[in-house]
Amino acid sequence: MADHFFPLKDRFEVAEGTMAFVFDTSSEPDFSFRAGQYVEVFIKNPPYIDERKDHRDFSITSSPGDKNILMVATRLTGSAFKRSLAEISLGTVCKVEGPFGDFNLHENKDKKAVFIAGGIGITPVRSIIKDATEQKLPHKITLIYSNRNPAGTPFLKDLENFENENPNFKLISKMTEETGQVDANFIKESLGDLSNTAFYIVGPPGMVQGMTKYLEELGVSRDDMRFEEFTGY
């Protein structure tokens, strides 16, 4: 398992209550990952400590094309770990393990991809869509992205920009305060033809289970579903 030691280079808000953290990877020019993978971030001697461990899993939300940086993003829940991450000085070196996971875009360009994400579940999806846009991949990609309201929607502007740049990417943004939750009807009406499609569902376990049930109701086979569960939420 690869251990890396990267200084925290920057942090900024990407939505109300959600912050991005950027690590400088320039000390390891060969560090690489596939869009959609995650890392474990450790803080040595954190300023705040609780009974939980000193590290968290975070999906990488930058793309492999973003040179010399690795960006993650998280909801600031008030946990000791996250308060520490939000307060340690820029330049603090953190241990980063990974990359891990296989939540990556399929290779068959003739098969459509549909991502269903809510809130912070967007992190690996942003990486995959940014990568597909930068590499001009031919895959037809749709994202159903559910949030309470625009102010609380991480990376909304970036996704709108990817949609403008990438003729193969369609963003379906659902603001639940205004128009209700994503359900089977909404998925069917938004997508129409569900055949020849790989579905990617990402977010807290409850959300992943709920969306899986809707897809099953719509006749989608489990063989055509991939999951990334953010256990811990």
Ligand X SMILES: Cc1cc2nc3c(=O)[nH]c(=O)nc-3n(C[C@H](O)[C@H](O)[C@H](O)COP(=O)(O)OP(=O)(O)OC[C@H]3O[C@@H](n4cnc5c(N)ncnc54)[C@H](O)[C@@H]3O)c2cc1C
Contact footprint for ligand X (CB under 6 A): 38, 51-52, 56-59, 72, 74-75, 77, 79, 81-82, 101, 120, 123, 228, 230-233
The least distance separating ligand X from the CB of residue 91, rounded to whole angstroms, comes to 23
Measure Cα distances from 201 to 3, 135, 145, 206, 213 in Å: 28, 23, 10, 11, 11
User: In DSSP terms, which residues pair with 59 in a beta bridge?
Assistant: 38
Sign of CA dihedral 39, 42, 47, 53: positive
Residue 118 or 187: the one with the smaller Cβ distance to ligand X is 118
- The residue among 187 and 225 lying less far from ligand X, judged by its C-beta, is 225
Task: State the nearest-atom distance from the C-beta of 34 to ligand X, in Å.
Answer: 14
Residue nearest ligand X, CB atom distance? 232
User: Are the C-beta atoms of residues 98 and 37 closer than 8 Å to each other?
Assistant: yes
The minimum distance between CB 218 and ligand X, in angstroms, equals: 26
- Closer of 16 and 57 to ligand X (Cβ): 57
Pairing mode of beta strands 112-118, 141-147: parallel
Shortest approach of ligand X to residue 216 CB, angstroms? 23
The nearer residue to ligand X, 25 or 168, going by C-beta atoms, is 25
Query: With contact defined as beta carbons under 8 Å apart, do 43 and 84 qualify?
Result: yes
Smallest distance, ligand X to C-beta of residue 63, A:
14
Q: What three-state secondary structure class fits 222?
A: helix
Contact (Cβ atoms closer than 8 angstroms) between residue 50 and residue 61: no
Instruction: Considering the complex, state which of residue 180 and residue 206 has its C-beta at the smaller distance from ligand X.
Output: 206
